[in-house]
């Protein structure tokens, strides 16, 4: 099981305190995705650390971007790509996301590529079509890969307190796995009190946690629930 904490544009918990707390939990690969300025502190604390995004070129005139080799040289283990906030607020397309994922994998990083439908797309009955398009873009660029993980994050469940039911999550994960056979994390308002039932689903291989990853104890509780679900 994998539990990744996406700190977004928040300072996040103290990396040393978090690392110490996570040491006591076995059976889960815990990952933190802090803002770029905190990557080094997280690496130094011994946390498995991913960036929140990564560019496809090694270097160049791309203001505001960071390259795969820059991350690798600083012992950053991987990156998120395609988070819905990147797609929604910064206009990233399926093609951009696929390019980011492909270059990051080729450079030697681990990748968590995020997919998920909006409320309007779900209401219109387009969930399957949207997931197929998003997953296919990554599949065509990267194929199945042992350093690639997908995250199913229904956009309507992110930061809203609304969570997909375990049945709905399971159905989406099963569809995604039928398209690209890699581990699939669930994301969208995962909290200590709903983590166990989500992690119990056979096609849910872990969680991508936003708000609840900003607190050491709630992130640790989710990691514990993930570890317990497969023991």
Catalytically annotated residues:
83, 153
Within 8 A by CB and 6+ apart from 45, the residues are 15, 16, 18, 19
Structure token digits, residue 195: 């983590």
Q: Which residue has the tokens 């802090």?
A: 34
- Minimum gap (Å) between residue 69 Cβ and ligand PGA: 25
Select 43 or 209, whichever has its Cβ closest to ligand PGA.
Answer: 209
- CA 202 – CA 142 distance, rounded (Å): 24
SS3 48: strand
Select 69 or 214, whichever has its Cβ closest to ligand PGA.
Answer: 214
- Minimum gap (Å) between residue 155 Cβ and ligand PGA: 9
Select 50 or 70, whichever has its Cβ closest to ligand PGA.
Answer: 50
Q: What 8-state DSSP symbol labels residue 118?
A: -
For residue 178, how many other CB atoms are within 10 A of its CB? Answer: 11
Contact (Cβ atoms closer than 8 angstroms) between residue 112 and residue 4: yes
Select 192 or 210, whichever has its Cβ closest to ligand PGA.
Answer: 210
What does 147-202 look like in DSSP terms, one character per residue? TEEEEE--GGGTTTS----HHHHHHHHHHHHHHS-S-EEEESS--HHHHHHHHTST
Chain contacts with ligand PGA (rule: CB under 6 A): 6, 153, 158-159, 187-190, 208-212
Residue nearest to ligand PGA (CB): 210
- Minimum gap (Å) between residue 134 Cβ and ligand PGA: 15
Q: Which residue has the tokens 């906030």?
A: 85
Select 45 or 158, whichever has its Cβ closest to ligand PGA.
Answer: 158
């Amino acid at each position: 099981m994998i539990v990744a904490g996406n700190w977004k544009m928040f300072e996040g918990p103290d990396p040393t305190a978090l690392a110490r707390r996570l040491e006591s939990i076995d059976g889960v690969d815990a990952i933190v995705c802090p803002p770029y300025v905190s990557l080094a502190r997280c690496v130094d604390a011994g946390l498995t650390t991913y960036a929140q995004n990564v560019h496809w070129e090694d270097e160049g005139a791309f203001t505001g971007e960071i390259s795969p080799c820059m991350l690798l040289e600083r012992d950053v283990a991987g990156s998120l790509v395609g988070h819905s906030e990147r797609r929604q607020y910064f206009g990233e397309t399926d093609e951009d996301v696929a390019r980011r994922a492909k270059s990051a994998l080729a450079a030697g990083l681990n990748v968590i590529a995020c997919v998920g439908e909006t409320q309007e797309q779900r209401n219109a009955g387009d969930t399957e079509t949207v997931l197929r398009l998003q997953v296919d873009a990554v599949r065509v660029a990267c194929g199945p890969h042992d350093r690639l993980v997908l995250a199913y994050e229904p956009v309507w469940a992110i930061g809203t307190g609304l969570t997909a039911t375990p049945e709905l999550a399971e159905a989406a994960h099963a569809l995604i796995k039928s398209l690209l056979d890699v581990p699939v994390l669930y994301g969208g308002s995962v909290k200590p009190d709903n983590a166990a039932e989500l992690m119990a689903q056979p096609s849910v291989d872990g969680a991508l946690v936003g708000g609840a990853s900003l607190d050491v104890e709630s992130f640790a509780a989710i990691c514990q629930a993930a570890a317990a679900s497969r023991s």
